[in-house]
Structure 1
Amino acid sequence: MASQTDVRTSRVLYGCMGLGGTWDTTPYTAEDIAGAEAAVQAALDVGITVFDQADIYRHGKSEAVFGEVLARASGLRERIVLQTKCGIRLADGERPGLYDLRAPSIVRRVEESLTRLRTDVIDVLLLHRPDPLTGPEEMAKALVSLHGQGLVRRFGVSNMSAAQIEHLRARLDVPLVANQLEMSLERRDWVEAGVLVNTPAAAGNGFPHGTLEYCVANGIQLQAWGALARGRFTDGGDSPTARLVADLAARKGTTPETILLWWLQRHPARIAPVVGTSRPERIRACRDAVRREPDLTHEEWYDLWVTARGGPLP
């Protein structure tokens, strides 16, 4: 029996997109399994117990190597929360990539994920991207069926606006517990949207205003993918933002990676960053974001924001 821990209590998640070798259909290797074991152990060492997957990561190989890790580590499945996603179909030959949230597709993808992950239940299933051709009634039918069969415990979405979430929730008898969005000190449109109201710049901001507030009001955890900004401010960068991040880390007795995660966590929405690096040393550099409350003052948080945006607030 897998963990019953509610994902909404997690401070940091580990994103498994980097596990499993190359982004193609070539088989994974023993080295890929060893790399996954090292990354998972590093996450566990710092206190991360929620692992975020998707059926498309490395063409399914990320789930498969994670399943290998679970099979080799007795009792590990019971200690973690396992989250995965479905809804994106990668390009195949002449067919382009597309989104597919039709009920039979959701059920089939979940069954395939369960096999690769070598588990009998998924703790949290996220719908990866909106599918414009599938109505909420059909999506809800699949989710209710999976829940009733005991194959999935909880559900959420990814990359969806408040309106899209409400459209689905109105047809769904089980709660949605998470919405995973790209949010970081580099990708700031989610926070910019809240201050560009009644300014000309608002027209150029594509983030759906009100989505954060809707999720908070309805108990939907906000998960931030891309939280480390792909190393832009930590891997030896010499931009004003990278220098400020490094300076704050030195003053706080922590790491630059932690400063980036604290910037997200300090927001009143209690954003839960998803750490997606496969490098164990960089995973361990995030330890204080798991173990300590965000140690950024009001002014320091704004210093990071204004420096990263490269100009004053309106």
Structure 2
Amino acid sequence: MKYVDLGKAGLNVSAVAVGCMRISALSHGELSRFIHTALDCGVNFFDHADIYGGGECEAAFGRVLKEEPGLRGQMVLQGKCGIRKGMYDFSKEHILKSVDEILGRLNTDYLDVLLLHRPDALMEPEEVGEAFDRLEAAGKVKRFGVSNFNARQIDLLQSGLRQKLVANQLQFGLLHTGMIDHALCANTKFPGSPDRDGEVLDYCRLHGLTVQAWSPFQYGFFEGVFLGKEKFPELNAQLSELSGKYNVSEQALAAAWILRHPAGMQVISGSTNPERLKDICTACDVELSREDWYALYLAAGNQLP
């Protein structure tokens, strides 16, 4: 397993992380075995959110921790809050209430990391800062970050915080490359040239935030997995060819493409299949050449000026 220093804050986390959005579909025994498989593979990072399964994903995970409390010390737990039905809510009251509920469902005394899930247009940085201070002082949250924020939104939030933000969870993968398209197409009228997120990838690199790539194998917005999809013949043909060269699966190669980026990203795997997770972890053993990295980028339908 490959590890990265989360937010350059001295916390080593696995480059492949377990996204827990679908774990409520597993039986208790299946989930326990899945968690043990992840740990055996060197995966120490588990990404939760209070909206996953309406809280049931956290509760299912918490039942495993209650039964096997020794597991907690082997893992880094990340939670997310801020999404409510029909709105986003970064009020101090909601953040504090959400964390208490998350901790209760997870059967743990603290979160290693808390992310604010999506930007709240009514966000008041100083109010968020008050919530973070209380959570940190109480030992309930060790580190803080964001998800789906652009560069200026991070600056605005950071202005009200004492804590340095350590992560930004963003959708990224071979068929969701907007964060790099606009930079490669700078000073052109190519389709990929518009900057939609304030150069967020470069911003995160400059300010030491770890980018966590969610839905790494999806295309569109939860439209499906591109691997093996007839809709993307060139990309899948290129993945198939290079999988033979690197002796890993197409899935692992798609993850390796993300890990090859010098930003030092994490890949958030959403799979609940132990064998698939093992396979994705083999991406950490692959170092794509520059030529092959660009070949995959172009096969995904992108252009270079």
Q: TM-score, normalised by structure 2?
A: 0.90
Q: 1:62 aligns with which of 57, 62, 77?
A: 57
1:23-46 Cα offsets, whole Å, 9 max, x none, are xxxxxxxx5323322332232232
Which residue identity does 2:266 align to in structure 1?
Answer: A
Q: Which runs of 5+ in 1 are unaligned?
A: 22-30, 91-96
1:222-272 Cα offsets, whole Å, 9 max, x none, are 110011225312578872211211221121111212111111111111111
Is residue 2:294 matched to residue 1:302? yes
Q: 1:129 aligns with which of 113, 118, 126?
A: 118
- For 2:48, the equivalent position in structure 1 comes to 53
Which residue identity does 1:191 align to in structure 2?
Answer: I
Structural mapping, 1:174-213, within 5 Å: 174-201=163-190, 205=194, 207-213=196-202
Is residue 2:250 matched to residue 1:256? yes
1:128-184 Cα offsets, whole Å, 9 max, x none, are 001001211111111111111110000000000111111111221111110000000
Contact 1:114/1:120, CA 8 A, preserved across alignment:
yes
Q: Which runs of 5+ in 2 are unaligned?
A: 1-5, 219-223
- For 2:281, the equivalent position in structure 1 comes to 287
Is residue 2:43 matched to residue 1:39? no
Structural mapping, 1:1-314, within 5 Å: 6-7=10-11, 9-21=13-25, 32-90=27-85, 97-201=86-190, 205=194, 207-229=196-218, 230-234=224-228, 239-290=233-284, 292=285, 294-309=286-301, 312-314=303-305
Query: How many residues align structurally?
Result: 293
Q: Whole-Å Cα distance in 2 between the matches of residues 6 and 258 of structure 1?
A: 27
Q: Whole-Å Cα distance in 2 between the matches of residues 11 and 288 of structure 1?
A: 11
Contact 2:183/2:193, CA 8 A, preserved across alignment:
no
Q: Counterpart of 2:168 in 1: which secondary structure?
A: strand
Q: Whole-Å Cα distance in 1 between the matches of residues 12 and 209 of structure 2?
A: 8
Q: TM-score, normalised by structure 1?
A: 0.87
Offset, 1:313: 1.5
Q: Counterpart of 1:176 in 2: which secondary structure?
A: coil
- For 2:221, the equivalent position in structure 1 comes to none
Q: Whole-Å Cα distance in 1 between the matches of residues 35 and 240 of structure 2?
A: 26
Q: Whole-Å Cα distance in 1 between the matches of residues 52 and 174 of structure 2?
A: 24
- For 1:24, the equivalent position in structure 2 comes to none
Change (3 A) 1:209 1:202: farther
Offset, 1:7: 4.7
Q: Which moved more, 1:119-128 or 1:253-262?
A: 253-262
Contact 2:129/2:161, CA 8 A, preserved across alignment:
yes
Which residue identity does 1:249 align to in structure 2?
Answer: S
Contact 2:17/2:43, CA 8 A, preserved across alignment:
yes
CA RMSD, 1 decimal: 2.1
Q: Counterpart of 1:125 in 2: which secondary structure?
A: strand
Q: Whole-Å Cα distance in 2 between the matches of residues 53 and 265 of structure 1?
A: 21
